[in-house]
Amino acid sequence: MRTQVVIIGGGPSGLLLSQLLLRRGIDNVVLERKTRDYVLSRIRAGVLERGLLELMREAWVAGRMEREGFAHDGALIAHEGGTFHIDFKALTGHSVMVYGQTEVTRDLYDAREAAGAETLFEVEQVEIHDADGDAPYVSFRQHGETRRIDCDFVAGCDGFHGVSRQTIPLSVRREYEKTYPFGWLGILSETPPVDDELIYANSARGFALCSMRNANLSRYYIQCALSDKPEDWTDAAFWQELKRRLPGEVAERLVTGPSIEKSIAPLRSFVCEPMRWGRLFLCGDAAHIVPPTGAKGLNTAASDVHYLYNGLRQFYEEGDSEGIDRYSERALARVWKAERFSWWFSSLLHRYPDQSAFDLRMQTAELEFLRTNRAAQQAMAENYVGLPY
């Protein structure tokens, strides 16, 4: 079997890249380790930057998002019993779109099926060969059979635990990592959101976030210990703890109900350099992870897809390799800025186990500066709505 681009991983990065390439007549195959249903059962963040919206439009998968998504012109930050507003629209001229990552992935799978695009599910033992030469190929097993696909390029969109990053030799690869001493416990509930806007709360009991998917579907998170398990938290205990972390008037308005999903995610910052090795390109979580505060994971994956798609397009349509040659450098320049914002926003809002009285005062001073200073709000808003590609 032969194709132009083998895409490893059928998460949002791989699917979006595939769809964009298909629209330009660039042949590709997506290899996914799990099933479609499994991929669509993962609940992830739900805030989309305008750059991602534009990519979805270009890939012709924006229809449902435009109809069912919610434009948000600002967000609230809660601290010391009150809230203050960051007006993204007034500060930057842009808003963000609240629409679940799971729905983006579903729309991409539906579009592939409609277009007859090829996804090979339940593949095992994926290996990338000769990525540093002119004729790479990918081998794998599927339903008991060994298979091989020859290609021009390999896009490693297989997430943090995938094989693509590991294919880059250690002598070339440099990894940067920071772990955080807490996790996020998240629930989804069929209740109306507590507010029209997202609320990010810094409280003495730890961080909390009030988010949403639609008028009757809410997503809430609280900072928890890394040793906690979802089973340790009854719904009642979750709601009680969330309320204690929100300003009184917000807690009073909170509508609670049974959770329909409950999970814990650790927080991590991670970057792998370079993002290209020969004919292999890393994209999305395969190359970098951000803590979820600020919802930059999917959006940073999307900026990689933008640079890689345009590089491949330039190569196939104009015979010019400039875009793919500079892919790693361009993608990483933006990745590091998203890393910085996610790290800063996380540091601003969480309680750290080893935080001193001085550290706490610094956090309060920074929140106070953000509350009262337009330049500080503008810097926050520009990052939140998404830096330009």
The helix/strand count (H/E) of the chain reads as 14, 20
**49 contact, one of ligand APR, ligand PHB, none, CB 5-8 Å limit per kind:** none
Beta-strand ranges (E) seen in 68-225 are: 70-72, 74-79, 82-87, 96-98, 119-120, 123-129, 137-142, 145-150, 153-156, 174-189, 199-202, 208-214, 217-224
Q: How far is CA 107 from the centre of its chain?
A: 16
Active site residue 296: yes
Residue 55: phi and psi, rounded to 5, are -65, -40
User: Is residue 292 involved in binding ligand PHB (CB under 6 A)?
Assistant: yes
C-alpha closest to that of 155 among 31, 55, 272, 282 = 282
Helix (H, G, I), strand (E, B) or coil at 251: helix
Instruction: Select the span of 83-91, 155-163, 200-208, 311-319 touching ligand APR (CB under 6 A).
Output: 155-163
Instruction: Select the span of 87-95, 151-159, 266-274, 349-357 touching ligand APR (CB under 6 A).
Output: 151-159
Cβ within 8 Å of residue 32, ≥6 positions away:
9, 10, 14, 39, 119, 120, 121, 122, 123
Cβ within 8 Å of residue 184, ≥6 positions away:
207, 209, 221, 222, 223, 224, 264, 265, 267, 292
CA distance 181 to 228: 12
Give the shortest CB-357-to-ligand APR separation in angstroms: 34
**17 contact, one of ligand PHB, ligand APR, none, CB 5-8 Å limit per kind:** none
Token pair of 114 as six digits: 């409609």
Out of 137, 200, 220, 309, the active site residue is: 200
User: Is residue 188 involved in binding ligand PHB (CB under 6 A)?
Assistant: no
Active site residue 389: no
Helix (H, G, I), strand (E, B) or coil at 312: helix
User: Is residue 10 involved in binding ligand APR (CB under 6 A)?
Assistant: yes
CA distance 273 to 283: 12
User: Is residue 157 involved in binding ligand APR (CB under 6 A)?
Assistant: yes
User: Is residue 301 involved in binding ligand APR (CB under 6 A)?
Assistant: yes
Give the shortest CB-43-to-ligand PHB separation in angstroms: 8
Token pair of 234 as six digits: 């009854």
Give me the amino acid identity at 27. Answer: D
Active site residue 200: yes
C-alpha closest to that of 134 among 284, 282, 321 = 321
Helix (H, G, I), strand (E, B) or coil at 217: strand
Q: How far is CA 330 from the centre of its chain?
A: 18
User: Is residue 183 involved in binding ligand APR (CB under 6 A)?
Assistant: no
Number of residues that bind ligand APR (CB under 6 A): 28
Give the shortest CB-359-to-ligand PHB separation in angstroms: 22
DSSP assignment of 333-349: HHHHHHHHHHHHHHHHH
Q: Which of 5, 12, 26, 86 binds ligand APR (CB under 6 A)?
A: 12
State which residue has the least CB distance to ligand PHB.
211
**34 contact, one of ligand APR, ligand PHB, none, CB 5-8 Å limit per kind:** ligand APR
User: Is residue 219 involved in binding ligand PHB (CB under 6 A)?
Assistant: yes
Give the shortest CB-149-to-ligand APR separation in angstroms: 12
Number of residues that bind ligand PHB (CB under 6 A): 11
Q: What are 316-323's contacts with CB under 8 Å, separation 24+? A: 316/4, 316/24, 316/26, 317/24
Give the shortest CB-46-to-ligand PHB separation in angstroms: 4
Cβ proximity to ligand PHB, 42 vs 253, nearer residue: 42
Active site residue 221: no
User: Is residue 11 involved in binding ligand APR (CB under 6 A)?
Assistant: yes
Q: Which of 123, 131, 209, 349 binds ligand APR (CB under 6 A)?
A: 123
Q: Which of 29, 45, 56, 246 binds ligand PHB (CB under 6 A)?
A: 45
What residues numbered 280-299 form the site for ligand APR, per CB under 6 A?
284-285, 297-298
Helix (H, G, I), strand (E, B) or coil at 264: strand
Q: Which of 17, 22, 111, 295 binds ligand PHB (CB under 6 A)?
A: 295
Residues that bind ligand PHB (CB under 6 A): 45-47, 198, 209, 211, 219, 292-295
Residues that bind ligand APR (CB under 6 A): 8-14, 31-34, 39, 44-45, 101, 123, 126, 157-159, 161-163, 284-285, 297-298, 301
The set of catalytic residues is: 72, 200, 292, 296, 384
